Structure 1
Amino acid sequence: MLNWIDTLFFGIRRILAAGVELPERPALNFVGAVVTDNPAENRTDVFIRGAWLVSPVVTSTYTARPGELVRVNAHGGVMIRLPPAAGNVGAEIVVKEVAGEEEAIAIVASTGEQVARGGYPFITFRLVSDGATWLTL
């Protein structure tokens, strides 16, 4: 059992697998998942391949996560920031304009990375990381 000082300083550290508590360990190792640091939102993102995240309808700047379907209402123009391509090899992001608007969706990659894609406007596009860049398919 955690003592109250550990809980005070480090928070709750229980991990459950299908409702069964696992033994407490000092580290986690994600096997078969893409794990990325997300300093903009002060969190660590874990993407398990085959599981899709679905965003709320985005109407302004938004940071996409690997394995996410980003739903966009681009009436006023929307900027979608991509996570680093490095460390996300094979990860996909799908961006779908859901309001039927024809306005542009700006895609911004991490510093020093390019997004290989065609011109504007996009209604739906699929991005896949090759480890160096995000490619549109």
Structure 2
Amino acid sequence: MVTDNPAENRTDVFVPGAWLISPVVTTSYTARPGELVRVNAHDPVTIRLPPAAGNVGTEVVIKEVAGEEEAIEVLASTGRQVARAGSPYVTFRLVSDGATWVVL
């Protein structure tokens, strides 16, 4: 699946069964389906998830990789907070059930 993502100035390509790996994120970022989002939370970071609808069974993993302790906030595409943490090396593993993102 290929979609235009003008908000992030990129074109997203999703290959079922393949993981995407983000550059190290230090500011707000929109995750893609099937992505490992690497975060350096030197300052608070907000990660917005793709829509849960149409992504049933898809995972997004968010990992703080620098040992920083600032908050990482995870938002659904609707703006609802899904998760939040502020500890070093925190990991969020999320799976879409088609209606929402479930934190595992």
Same fold (TM over 0.5): yes
Correspondences of 1:118-129 after superposition (within 5 Å): 120-121=85-86, 123-129=90-96
Secondary structure in 2 matching 1:135: strand
Using the aligned pairs only, state the percent identity.
76
Residue 50 of structure 1 deviates from its aligned partner by 1.8
Structure 1 gap ranges (5+): 1-33
Q: In proportion to residue count, which structure has more strand? A: 2
Structure 1 residue ranges, 4+ long, deviating more than 2 angstroms after superposition: 34-46, 112-115, 119-122
Give the CA RMSD over aligned residues.
2.2
Which of 37, 40, 62 aligns to 1:70? It is 37
In 1, Cα distance between the equivalents of 2:19 and 2:80?
Answer: 24
Residue 90 of structure 1 deviates from its aligned partner by 0.8
Q: Deviations over 1:21-80 (max 9, x none)?
A: xxxxxxxxxxxxx56564534666332222111111100011100011100000111110
Secondary structure in 2 matching 1:40: helix
Q: Tell me the residue number matched to 1:56.
A: 23
Structure 2 gap ranges (5+): none
The count of corresponding residues between Structure 1 and Structure 2 is 102
Q: In proportion to residue count, which structure has more helix? A: 1
Decide whether the 8 Å contact of 1:61 with 1:78 is kept in 2. yes
The verdict on how the C-alpha distance between 1:98 and 1:87 changes in structure 2, with shifts beyond 3 A counting, is same
Ranked by relative contact order (alpha carbons within 8 Å, sequence separation 6 or more), the top structure is 2
Larger Rg: 1
